[in-house]
Amino acid sequence: MTTSLGSTVASTTGKERGGRSRRGADLIVKSNLLLVFLALCVVASLLAPQFLTGRNIANLLQQSSLTGIVAIGMTMVVLTAGIDLSVGSVAAFGGMTVALLMAPGMPVLPAILLSLAIGAAFGAVMGGLSAYLSLPSFMTTLAGLTAIRGLTYLLTDGKPAQAGESEVFQLLGGGFVGYVPIVGIIFVVVTLLAAGVLRGTTFGEYVYAVGSNKEAARLSGLPVRGVITTVFAVSGGLAALAGVLLTSRLTVGQPTAFSGLELDAIAAVVLGGTNLFGGRGGVFGTFVAVLLLSVLRNLCNLLGLGSFFQMVVTGLILLVALVLNMLIERRGARA
């Protein structure tokens, strides 16, 4: 009896230890990106002492925030198993629009809101075409990438547009609170709001359900088409916001701005652990991934390494991230 009881207690204790060990291992696996980011920051501070200066960190956050804001919208699209290749063009159009609206004297807030609304409308149109006509989002947004960039050039015949001299407007993209850039604060707020929507609302549950299995979501009575259209509208609106903030910092709208932004945004989403086939992931992973890529590029600049080297390193990191995400999914499937 005593032996049996002792064996039972030992077995239970062993299972508890094994369970704690597995949970600890799972936590490490799921936090791999954050651990890599922290390790990279340590390496950067050792290789380049100027990395930890307040000015460099402020510049790093300011430079990464625009891509980050767009990547948050891209994350919501990818969670529904879609893709938005038009974000760079929509961002450029948003930046040009706010400049052209403010040049004749329109107040700052209406000009910004109208620019965001136009960006959201572009996104809703492309999302609606994909959802209601069953067109691949890759193709609809690829068409949008070309057409909207063309419209951006047509606005001023390809020339930059002066945004006026509003100090309030210029603070949005170029102002600081202490050492913290205002655009960085906006990036954090956008991330927190998106996380709250995805994890704390019915709409967020719909997003994950549509991405996991679109047909099952439809048969369950979920508004699949409306969800897809909405996330594309959010992506377009956030892309336009990035354009507005860039115009605020430069005080001019640049029709050539944000070329290749869609690739940077998708890279951050993938590196952040969001499944390209939808249903898994979140904005916090994207947030860390944006910062990680920015730290990497910043370190390369501080060390005097060329842009070609940066491209190679970034590509290798993305490849490693894809492999890690695959291993994590397989581990979850076995569990």
CATH code of the domain in which 128 resides: 1.10.3470
pLDDT of residue 24 exceeding 70, the answer is no
Whether residue 23 lies inside any domain: the answer is: no
Residue 256: predicted pLDDT: 95
Instruction: Give the whole-angstrom CA distance, residue 233 versus residue 116.
Output: 10
Answer for the pair 64, 290: CB distance below 8 angstroms, yes or no: yes
The average pLDDT across 23-46 equals 74
User: Within a domain: residue 68?
Assistant: yes
Using DSSP, state whether 181 is helix, strand or coil.
strand
Whether 9 is in a domain gets the answer no
| pLDDT score, position 335 | 58
Average pLDDT of the chain to the nearest whole number: 88
Q: Is the pTM of this model over 0.75?
A: yes
Write the pLDDT tens digit of every residue in 196-255: 999 999 999 999 999 999 999 999 999 999 999 999 999 999 999 999 999 999 999 999
pLDDT at 10: 45
Residue in the structure block whose two tokens are 């991405």: 211
Would the pLDDT of 332 be above 70? no
Domain boundaries, position 273: 36-44+55-334
Compute the distance between CA of residue 97 and CA of residue 122 in angstroms, rounded to an integer.
Answer: 13
> 158: burial class by Cβ within 10 Å (0-12, 13-18, 19+)?
exposed
SS3 sequence, 136-179? Answer: CHHHHHHHHHHHHHHHHHHHHCCCCEECCCCHHHHHHHHCEECC
The more confidently predicted of residues 40 and 130 is 130
Cβ atoms of 184 and 65 within 8 Å: the answer is: yes
pLDDT at site 78: 97
239: in domain: yes
Q: Has residue 4 been placed in a domain?
A: no
CB burial string 16-39: b at 16+ within 10 A, e below: eeeeeeeeeeeeeeeebbeebbee
Distance CA 76, CA 161 (A): 31
- Cβ neighbors of 24 (< 8 A, separation 6 or more) are none
Q: At which residue do the structure tokens 């869609």 appear?
A: 262
Distance in angstroms (rounded) separating the CA atoms of residues 103 and 252 = 10
- The token duo for 241 is 């916001």
Closest CA relative to residue 270, chosen from 11, 78, 84, 96:
78
Q: Is residue 149 part of a domain?
A: yes
Residue 11 lies in a domain: no
* Structural domain total, the chain: 1
The mean per-residue pLDDT over the stretch 68-90 comes to 97
Which of 93, 67, 85 has the alpha carbon at shortest distance from 244?
93
> For residue 333, what pLDDT is reported?
60
Contact in structure between 209 and 222 (CB atoms under 8 Å): yes
Task: Confirm if 33 and 292 have CB atoms less than 8 A apart.
Answer: yes
DSSP characters for 58-69? HHHHHHHHHHHH
Q: What single-letter DSSP state applies at residue 135? A: -
Average pLDDT over residues 258-281: 91
DSSP-derived secondary structure for 61-113: HHHHHHHHHHHHHHHHHHHTT---TTHHHHHHHHHHHHHHHHTTT--HHHHHH
In this prediction, residue 4 carries a pLDDT of: 52
Between the alpha carbon of residue 69 and those of residues 91, 233, 316, the distances in Å are 11, 14, 24
* Residue pLDDT, tens place only, 279-303: 999 999 999 999 999 998 888 888 8
pLDDT tens-digit series, residues 100-129: 999 998 999 999 999 999 999 999 999 999
Residue 207 domain flag: yes
